[in-house]
Amino acid sequence: MGIINNNCSIRNMRKQHYLFLLVLLCSLFQIKNADAQTNVRKHKIAVFAPLYLDSAFNEMVEYRYAKTEFPKFINPGLEFFEGVQLALDSLNIEQAPLEVFIYDTKSAKVSLTDQLAKTEMDSVEMILAYCSGTEVRTFADAGLKNNIPVINVNIPNEGGASGNPYFVLLNPTLRTQCEGIYKHIQKYYSLDQLVVFRKKGPLEDRLKMYFDDFTKSTMAVPLKLKYVDLPENFTEADLSKHLDTIKHTLCIAGSLDENFGKKLTQKLATLKKQKYVASVMGMPTWDGISDFKKIEYKGIDIIYSTPFYNPRTDKLSQRIIERFNKVMFARPSDMVMRGYETMWKFGKLLLKFKADLASNISHQDFDLFREYDIQPVLDRETMLLDYFENKKLYFLKWQDGILKGVY
């Protein structure tokens, strides 16, 4: 009983800490990074995130929920902001001449269009956007209109942007992810049997189209992929007929559906115990699946790609972890780390290149937890620049409940 009470106390402390951050944000619409040298020009950055301040507070700035209640939908944006604020604290120690504005994309009072117009009036030089899929094009157009870099932190979609040298995707598109998976298979599994297990659907057809395109265009030996459409209630028998007990088979999940991926992997793990020799290559959506540590998935190697791998063994990550343990009795989420590294890297790049930042957005200085490989994306017909995209992928492997980097 004492343990339960202690866990409840820890959760309440965590909620109270986040509540404190919300109150701080609600009272300070604009957060400025201090600079002791007032005669030095400050470079301006706008940070957009879904903070839901109007959902959390009423007109009297009173918290709408119980003090021990904290809605989960607020967490991601607030955690991103927490990372941004930690980075600003570090930059402040260096007396970095930055002025940073925080905007709530979920404001009920000010539209995103009006917020972006405000950044134009404030002569903001760069935008960091934690956005939704429907907001991507709006941010991209704002960057093109004002000739300032817009860094899309989270959405793996260009939103139809084209001819835009100011728009940057940190989370690679599905095409780029599929290309990385294809090349990884070429490098490490080209001599194995390669089976793509699919379910029917438009996204599944798009995955197949991407793989077929790479098969036609690759300069290396193309992969011999066998596509198998599975019934809705597929069984081990539907899979085993395509496997072997002697020759290794790489089973590729040809669907973004996490439930399909988990079911496929669990049944392949069962078959692995029956002497079938196989591994599983998953999709980018598998990055958030923690079930793979469970016993029913043990015995089979589970591989997937992600652009955001951080083993958290470096000194800075350890310091952030220690701070969260001390203040919140919790581990910082990946969004905290992304908030920190995005503000640090691109804030530093702005200070270094100033008005020439857009021409140097691919510069690899100031990477912290992981590498970025920001490259121009060209229109395949006109060969003109459409936007910039991070091409760096890490490949991770679940092996008997333990996750580790393999590439």
Q: What value does the mean pLDDT take over residues 119-138?
A: 96
The string of pLDDT tens digits covering residues 299-322 is 999 999 999 999 999 999 999 999
Q: What is the pTM of this model?
A: 0.88
- Least confident among 67-76, 190-199, 244-253, 322-331: 67-76
Q: Is pLDDT above 70 for 24? A: no
d(CA 234, CA 203): 19
pLDDT more than 70, % of the chain: 87
386: tokens are 């459409």
For strands 249-253 and 193-198, give the pairing: parallel
Contact 84, 335 (CB under 8 A): no
Contact 205, 178 (CB under 8 A): no
Contact 248, 277 (CB under 8 A): yes
pLDDT score of 60: 58
Q: What 3-state DSSP class applies to 109? A: coil
Instruction: Check residues 21 and 123 and name the one with the higher pLDDT.
Output: 123
Q: Is pLDDT above 70 for 373? A: yes
Locate the DSSP E strands across 260-366: 278-281, 302-306
- Least confident among 69-78, 158-167, 310-319: 69-78
Q: Is pLDDT above 60 for 323? A: yes
| 174-306+395-405 to CATH, choices 3.40.50.2300, 3.40.190.10, 3.30.70.141, 3.40.50.1970 | 3.40.50.2300
The string of pLDDT tens digits covering residues 206-260 is 999 999 999 999 999 999 999 999 999 999 999 999 999 999 999 999 999 999 9
Contact 229, 283 (CB under 8 A): no
Q: What value does the mean pLDDT take over residues 48-76?
A: 72
pLDDT score of 2: 27
Report helix, strand and coil shares of the chain as percent, to nearest 5: 45, 20, 40
Q: Which helix (H) or strand (E) holds 10?
A: helix 2-27
**Long-range CB contacts (within 8 A, 24+) of 236-241:** 236/267, 236/270, 236/271, 239/197, 239/264, 239/267, 239/268, 239/271, 240/271, 240/274, 240/276
Q: What value does the mean pLDDT take over residues 71-75?
A: 81
Structural domain boundaries of the chain?
2-172+312-372, 174-306+395-405
Q: How confident is the model at residue 68 (pLDDT cuts 50, 70, 90)?
A: low
Q: Do domains 2-172+312-372 and 174-306+395-405 have the same CATH topology?
A: yes
Q: Is pLDDT above 50 for 10? A: no
For strands 374-378 and 385-390, give the pairing: antiparallel
Instruction: Check residues 91 and 67 and name the one with the higher pLDDT.
Output: 91
> Residue 324 is which amino acid?
F
pLDDT score of 32: 47
pLDDT score of 366: 95
Average pLDDT across the chain, whole number: 88
Q: Is pLDDT above 70 for 348? A: yes
d(CA 242, CA 335): 40
| 2-172+312-372 to CATH, choices 3.40.50.720, 1.10.560.10, 1.10.260.40, 3.40.50.2300 | 3.40.50.2300
Torsion of CA 143, 374, 219, 381, to 10 degrees: 10
pLDDT score of 27: 45
String of b and e for 231-244 (b: at least 16 CB within 10 Å)? eeebeeeebbeebe
String of b and e for 164-195 (b: at least 16 CB within 10 Å)? bbbbbbbbbbbbbbbbbbbebbeeebeebbbb
Q: How confident is the model at residue 65 (pLDDT cuts 50, 70, 90)?
A: low
pLDDT score of 21: 54
Contact 64, 56 (CB under 8 A): yes
Contact 196, 177 (CB under 8 A): no
Q: Is pLDDT above 90 for 5? A: no
Q: How confident is the model at residue 29 (pLDDT cuts 50, 70, 90)?
A: very low
pLDDT more than 90, % of the chain: 77
Q: What value does the mean pLDDT take over residues 144-163?
A: 95
Contact 280, 273 (CB under 8 A): no
